[in-house]
Amino acid sequence: MTKPVPADVVSRLKAVLGEGGWSQDPDRLAPKLQEWRGRWAGQTPLLVLPRSTAQVAAVVGVCAAEGVAITPQGGNTGLVAGQIPQGEILLSTEKLTAVRDVDPIDDVMVLEAGVTLWEAHQQAARVGRRFTVGVASEGSCTIGGLISTNAGGTAVLRYGMMREQVLGVEAVLPNGEIWNGLKRLRKDNTGYDLKQLLIGAEGTLGIVTAASLKLHAPLASRAVAVVGLASPADAIQLLARAKDETGGAVEAFELMGRLGFALTVRNVPGLRDPLPEAHPWYVLIEIASGEPGAAEAALERLLAHALESGLIADAAVAQTETQMKAFWHIREGHSAGQKPEGAVWKHDVSVPVSKIPDFIGQADAAIGKAFPGSRIVAFGHVGDGNVHYDVLKPEGGDDDAHDAQREAGAKIVHDITAAFSGSISAEHGLGAMKSLEALTYKDPVEVEVLRAIRAALDPKRIMNPRVLF
Residues at the interface with ligand FAD (CB under 6 A): 36, 71-79, 82-83, 93, 113, 135-137, 140-142, 144-146, 148-149, 151-153, 202-203, 207-208, 335, 427-428, 431, 464, 467
Radius of gyration of the chain (CA): 23
Going from the C-alpha of 123 to that of each of 107, 115, 127, 364, 425, the distances in angstroms are 12, 10, 7, 43, 30
Q: Report whether 167 contacts 214 (CB < 8 A).
A: yes
Query: Which amino acid type is present at position 237?
Result: Q
| CB 14 to ligand FAD: min, Å | 21
**Shortest CB 396 distance to ligand FAD, Å:** 26
Minimum CB distance to ligand FAD smaller for 14 or for 163: 163
- Which residues touch 264 (CB under 8 Å, ≥6 apart)? 271, 330, 333, 334, 336, 337, 338
Residue 305 Cβ, how far from ligand FAD at the closest point, in Å?
A: 30
Give the dihedral sign, CA 57/82/36/77.
Answer: positive
Residue 206 or 228 with smaller CB distance to ligand FAD = 206
When the beta carbons of 255 and 412 are compared against ligand FAD, the nearer one is: 255
Q: Which is nearer to ligand FAD, 203 or 465 (CB)?
A: 203
Residue 355 CA, distance from chain mean position? 22
The CA distances from residue 80 to 65, 77, 115, in Å, are: 29, 9, 21
> CB-based contacts of 269: which residues, under 8 Å, 6+ apart?
none
CB of 45 to ligand FAD, least distance (A): 17
Minimum CB distance to ligand FAD smaller for 144 or for 260:
144
> Nearer Cβ to ligand FAD, position 362 or 435?
435
Q: Which is nearer to ligand FAD, 21 or 75 (CB)?
A: 75
Least distance to ligand FAD, CB of residue 79, Å: 5
- Go through 246-263 and write b for each residue having 16 or more CB atoms within 10 A of its CB, e for each that does not: beebbbbbbbbbebbbeb
Coil, strand or helix: which one is 44? Answer: coil
Do 107 and 216 contact (CB within 8 A), yes or no?
yes
Q: For residue 280, what are the contacts with CB-CB under 8 A and spacing of at least 6?
A: 229, 230, 231, 257, 258
CB of 84 to ligand FAD, least distance (A): 9
CA distance 318 to 225: 6
Helices then strands, counting H and E runs in the chain, come out as: 18, 17
Give the shortest CB-144-to-ligand FAD separation in angstroms: 2
Nearer to ligand FAD, 278 or 436 (CB): 436
| Smallest distance from ligand FAD to CB 135, Å | 4
Which residue lies nearest ligand FAD, judged by its C-beta? Answer: 145
Instruction: Give yes or no for a contact between 375 and 394, defined as CB atoms under 8 angstroms apart.
Output: yes
Residue 430 contacts residue 468 (beta carbons within 8 Å): yes
**Which residue number, 239 or 312, has a Cβ lying nearer to ligand FAD?**
239
Q: Shortest gap between Cβ of 459 and ligand FAD (angstroms)? A: 18
